[in-house]
Amino acid sequence: MSSYPALLPASVAVDALWSALYFVLWIAVMVWIYNLAKRKGRHPVGWVILAFFFFFLALILLLILPSKRTTQEVERARG
């Protein structure tokens, strides 16, 4: 009889721990995306939905895009 089955519960526990850690990190980044979009004057729920499917793309785009509030204030000052 082999000793490999005895190692299985430990590896499953480690996998479960990493999965839980990843899930908590994912939720934290979703909350961050929501707050960042809200602060920039963008639609926060839409950005969270986008991030649900395209995690890194949504985060990078939201960090690069300027705030809508400042853009609208500049346009009002010009016109």
Distance CA 63, CA 76 (A): 24
Provide the domain limits for residue 15: 4-78
User: Quick check: 26 pLDDT over 60?
Assistant: yes
Tokens of 30: 């979703």
Picking from 65, 26, 74, 60, the residue whose alpha carbon sits closest to that of residue 42 is: 65
Q: What is the pLDDT of residues 40-52, one digit of tens each?
A: 999 999 999 999 9
pLDDT, average across residues 31-39: 94
Give CA 19 to chain center in angstroms: 16
Q: How many domains does the chain have?
A: 1
Picking from 61, 31, 63, the residue whose alpha carbon sits closest to that of residue 45 is: 31
Q: Please tell me the predicted confidence (pLDDT) of residue 13.
A: 82
